[in-house]
Amino acid sequence: MHQEPTQSSPGRRTRLRKSHAAGLVMLLCSAAAQAHTDVGVAGGLLTGFMHPLSGIDHLLAMVAVGIWGATLGRPLVWALPVAFPMLMVVGGVLGISGVPLPYVETGIAVSVVVLGLAIAAAWRAPIGVALAIIALFGVFHGFAHGQELPEAAAPAAYAAGFVISTGLLHLGGIAIGLLKGAPRGMQILRASGGLIAAAGVWILAGMPGVA
């Protein structure tokens, strides 16, 4: 009796592997989504960690802090990335507490423009001025994070999450800023600062009420 030829074993195994891989990806995505919206410490930590990564304005500003600090050198290469998260916590507490702070989104967009211009101009700001700028913008960014606190999440874990994420973005910016020692490194960094500032202007232009 003639039988239909079966599929080749290698082809079948390949399809099975792809099917299993797709299922695993879907499972991991589902677990991540569940953790992102979960309650308590774990959910708050992950939600806080993801928040600075979810907006281009936050992400660019955090990286720019690290780049600017690296171009300024010691002590600001570390002082700026330390001061920014500290003031973010202050702003986060204000946001969680419901204390009103006007022009938060505008302040965040302006921070992208100012930090980008500081890099583009290779501005060697005095220590006090640089720290004051970072402190002001840190409060704005932290306030925005605080306002997004999920009701069921643990506030301390949420704050720890966005501080950790911010610190990692600062370190990434510092790593980029180390290009200043390479040939044409400062030109590259200044060009990147111009792009960051342009992105900030684009963000500002897209805000409601901005002509």
Structure confidence at residue 193 (pLDDT): 97
Helix axes 127-147, 155-177, angle to 10 degrees: 140
Interacting residues of 20 by C-beta distance below 8 A, sequence separation 6+: none
Instruction: Say whether pLDDT at 195 is over 60.
Output: yes
For 124-183, how does the pLDDT look when each residue is reduced to its tens digit (9 = 90+)?
A: 999 999 999 999 999 999 999 888 877 657 888 888 888 999 999 999 999 999 999 888
Structure confidence at residue 35 (pLDDT): 42
Contact 131, 180 (CB under 8 A): no
Residue 99: CA count within 13 A, CB half-sphere: 12
Contact 205, 105 (CB under 8 A): no
DSSP, res 74: T
Contact 113, 204 (CB under 8 A): yes
DSSP, res 208: T
